[in-house]
Structure 1
């Protein structure tokens, strides 16, 4: 079971830190660094100047590893970098957002100014990055006016024609699998040619926007490492810095790795930018593409070579069908590793599945986004569209078959969801804890924030799903991110909940969940008090921001700055404890072995993504 206590000083961790530094120093002395990569990939913060602004972000990222700065970069960056390096192009990832968050004196503009890549890439995968992404692009053009700037990611793909209208954006590479299109774009530019024949690219030619066909949509994902932790290890050795490549702020202390069985989704949840509709709209993918069980096994080998921490299996692997599911579960039994596995499920499961998960892993847990206790709401949303009886049977079967922890996630701001439905998730959670009598169940509630995702069914057909959109264009979303509180950042209301009601329901449910988890010993006293205090303070500030906005305009900025100082930080973890979503984590394996592994990878004695026959053909399939 996860440790939900607030950690104190850990002498073993201090010793481990010292050992890590020795290992890094030994590696740095042995390896010549590559100072000028062909491509540098910058990961931007959500709002570029968040350290100087007075926004109250609130509970918009409490149930994910990132802070409201969204410093965790898309895992696709590592597969792009690995693929390019395997084909001869040095590629570096620089997580600007994380470094800005970790070091108040860090100067991102200086970092950009002193970078000397031949091409720069910026991810705009999640829409909350739209402010920071453009501002980073402007800084790149300020200091490197003649260097091409590439954008990519799901939100880039959706807003591609708007993006290229910004004078700081040269190319948008659309799709969810852009490793080959980016490679071909760079190859084409290196030859001094225009990218007329490069698939998936949107660009400007003599003042006209050109939208090349989005035809590189591979259905076989074995051609790349997804994600490529081998690349991360190699880049630390190759470029001499682990800080620039860290996935998110606390990753060195609590390293979680990810296993990605597929890209795309078979489900069509009304609010989700990763739904079937969203993938069809933005990246021309009508059904998920999968990695083979053999490649997933290799991914697990790569992860366990350096990490003893939890492995999060993204998406419900059962979407691959019965044959894929059987092969995948057989694979887990064969690998026989001691890392904990965390699985997502999008619907109910039978006892056979949990029996097999129990046999196949040393330790497993579940993350279930059931979204609502109300069956009609779940039916409309499209996830766990089943009866509460069947849902509870699934929970009981998992707990009876070795499941270590079940995180249940509810969401506020859904179609058909009334105020009573939203706050009623607390009482339903009480019913679950009383009926199942098991403190391995941990309920969480959070708002659908900051945005209803572009491409989702609710965004594309708002009237059908009862949404009221409040902004439409990319620039409107960028401006909304500068609003002074998360309530005013929201890009939607629903027929059943106004923005005020979404906020009120969020905090009422937040208080209720905190009380409930404390009562049933899911969290300890310190966490309970901490969350209660933050909720009270956050609610006061939300009300105070509204008062400021109703007051004289010339006094707003000063009063907002006072409120930000009173709240502290960025308002993160206001509805759950900092460590409630931290899993038991044994961290990294021996650092000197890790350094040796890095040297082997760099020398090419281990496999490289470009060393075999995995490059895509012009049609998007493997050669």
Structure 2
């Protein structure tokens, strides 16, 4: 096996999920949703930069390996790995505990190796993470190809003081924090370079982790208007909540990335972030580029606010058959206002109407449960508002309504002071949060509640509203009746399991948890399997996609090493 200089580990939300029983958050019925792709872009950018710098990098995708075989053992796999540097990426809070466990295993078998944590969750929890003995460094800035190459050079001599945004330990154990850089590098995509790195890893290690990630990304491509890889939902990013808006990429760079993705994939391309947010005609400039040099793929756009009819028409001209995602959070305008959004329900409905008239392929409206100012009664009123929308738009199948418990993403500026916006943190210390992540019930792992709703009320409202919404869609012909009753039955099993888990934890009978795993897996698997598979087989690729793919593979020349 060739020597490896740098290993990037991608971890799951639930460490060693084949063995541990965790009841997942209940999901909506099938809808057109995209898997998060931004972390993949960051990963490939790092790998490509290290490859060009002459390092032998390797990607290990633990969720991919666990999904392929129930006999896969995480510890045995890590025991076989060897490299001077292990980088562990984590973008969600639920991954923190698992990342620390993976770091412990690395240090157990490779105590001389350095571990570095990166990603949105690492940025948010850097002060807690760095105090663990198995964590050598945490990147609280943007971890891109440049910083990864800098880290490799610094690791040789053990001098890390020049790497912007790095939190690290001296030999004495003293924690040091380097200054953040105000200059966020945001290189354009180069899928050909990504294929080069993937081909090299396949030949060197006979492993397909990076190839599987690249395939998933091209099946669900995403690009961002933000310079950093941590992009929060527009619902949680506004001038009122953020104070200072994040740094944005130039619309010309965003367009180049869209065009590059469309060369290799026919799948819809999601643009993360409301393109009107940067101001200064940013959205108009991007749409103008798309109108004058159109791409063949559909575009999926996010709106953090209602949009006037003329703007929707401009989107339709730039991307016929576009898709639109809007997250009002609540039907209650006063609840939205607490998050800095002042548009009315009339404005929201006008936006939906304009999109449907512009021949949008789908409009997804996401409501949340557990927002500040929201009560259990308000959640019921939200579901009634959902029926009003379906009735107003004649049950149009292009209108997709969803509801889910609120979870603040690690990239949200609200996390800097959640109490000032009405969120009540359930955990005061980093260790309390880690302990909660080990609990089997999803409501026990929620980080926040509000003055109006406890976690128990959030859970009850979630199941109740999901059941109501599923039957509502069956009533308006958006979902077959038999399918809707199957989904409702699975929600009922989830409710019953939640009660059983509460009783087991309350009475200290944790030895019974293992026996519940098969039943919990069936509940989770049904919810996961209910989502539409948007993967595109080879036969659905356009000729120009196949041509670009063949050219990239030819240019990659993986035999050079």
TM-score > 0.5, shorter chain as reference:
yes
Map residues 94-493 of structure 1 onto 2, 5 A cutoff. Answer: 94-190=60-156, 192-219=157-184, 221=186, 224-225=187-188, 229-240=191-202, 243-245=208-210, 251=216, 255-263=219-227, 272=236, 286-383=244-341, 385-437=342-394, 438-449=396-407, 452-453=408-409, 456=412, 459-493=415-449
Corresponding position of 2:556: 602
Native 8 Å contact 1:198 1:212 kept in 2? no
**Per-residue deviation, 1:492:** 2.3
* 1:152-184 Cα distance to aligned partner (Å, 9 max, x none): 112212222322222211111221354333322
Native 8 Å contact 2:320 2:360 kept in 1? no
* 1:488-515 Cα distance to aligned partner (Å, 9 max, x none): 1122221000111001100110001101
Native 8 Å contact 1:265 1:287 kept in 2? no
Corresponding position of 1:26: none
Tell me how far apart the structure 2 counterparts of residues 436 and 44 of structure 1 sit (CA, whole Å).
42
Corresponding position of 1:24: none
Native 8 Å contact 1:73 1:248 kept in 2? no
- Equivalent residue in structure 2 for 1:529, among 482, 485, 488: 485
Map residues 537-616 of structure 1 onto 2, 5 A cutoff. Answer: 537-551=493-507, 553=508, 555-558=509-512, 560-569=513-522, 571=524, 574=527, 578-579=530-531, 582=534, 588-589=541-542, 593=547, 596-603=550-557
**Per-residue deviation, 1:43:** 0.8
1:166 aligned counterpart, secondary structure: coil
**Per-residue deviation, 1:458:** 5.1
Between the two proteins, the alignment pairs up a number of residues equal to: 550
Native 8 Å contact 1:44 1:129 kept in 2? yes
Root-mean-square deviation over aligned CA pairs: 3.3
Corresponding position of 2:458: 502
Does residue 1:511 correspond to 2:467, yes or no?
yes
* 1:183-213 Cα distance to aligned partner (Å, 9 max, x none): 22211223x2411222211111133433333
Residues 359/248 of structure 1: CA separation in 2 closer, same or farther (3 Å cut): same
Tell me how far apart the structure 2 counterparts of residues 278 and 98 of structure 1 sit (CA, whole Å).
37
**Per-residue deviation, 1:242:** 7.2
- Equivalent residue in structure 1 for 2:43, among 77, 100, 103: 77
Native 8 Å contact 2:231 2:273 kept in 1? no
Tell me how far apart the structure 2 counterparts of residues 595 and 464 of structure 1 sit (CA, whole Å).
50
TM-score by length of 1: 0.80
* 1:55-78 Cα distance to aligned partner (Å, 9 max, x none): 212327988656xxx999553222
1:321 aligned counterpart, secondary structure: coil
TM-score by length of 2: 0.88
Tell me how far apart the structure 1 counterparts of residues 332 and 378 of structure 2 sit (CA, whole Å).
7
- Equivalent residue in structure 1 for 2:5, among 38, 62, 80: 38
Residues 99/265 of structure 1: CA separation in 2 closer, same or farther (3 Å cut): closer
Q: Which deviates more from structure 2 when the two are superposed, residues 585-594 or residues 166-175? A: 585-594
**Per-residue deviation, 1:409:** 0.5
Native 8 Å contact 1:259 1:296 kept in 2? yes
**Per-residue deviation, 1:325:** 1.7
Native 8 Å contact 2:367 2:403 kept in 1? yes
2:261 aligned counterpart, secondary structure: helix
Native 8 Å contact 1:130 1:474 kept in 2? no
Tell me how far apart the structure 2 counterparts of residues 455 and 314 of structure 1 sit (CA, whole Å).
13
Q: Which deviates more from structure 2 when the two are superposed, residues 580-589 or residues 93-102? A: 580-589
Native 8 Å contact 2:231 2:272 kept in 1? no
Q: Unaligned regions of 5+ residues in structure 2, if any?
A: none
Q: Unaligned regions of 5+ residues in structure 1, if any?
A: 1-33, 281-285, 605-623
Residues 237/160 of structure 1: CA separation in 2 closer, same or farther (3 Å cut): same
**Per-residue deviation, 1:267:** 11
Native 8 Å contact 1:348 1:394 kept in 2? yes
Tell me how far apart the structure 2 counterparts of residues 88 and 294 of structure 1 sit (CA, whole Å).
30
- Equivalent residue in structure 2 for 1:48, among 8, 11, 15: 15
* 1:31-63 Cα distance to aligned partner (Å, 9 max, x none): xxx944421110111231222112212327988
Native 8 Å contact 1:418 1:497 kept in 2? yes
Q: Which deviates more from structure 2 when the two are superposed, residues 592-601 or residues 121-130? A: 592-601
**Per-residue deviation, 1:136:** 1.1
Native 8 Å contact 1:309 1:340 kept in 2? yes
**Per-residue deviation, 1:147:** 1.4
Tell me how far apart the structure 2 counterparts of residues 197 and 572 of structure 1 sit (CA, whole Å).
47
Tell me how far apart the structure 2 counterparts of residues 79 and 305 of structure 1 sit (CA, whole Å).
18
1:546 aligned counterpart, secondary structure: helix
**Per-residue deviation, 1:316:** 0.8
2:222 aligned counterpart, secondary structure: strand
**Per-residue deviation, 1:457:** 5.8
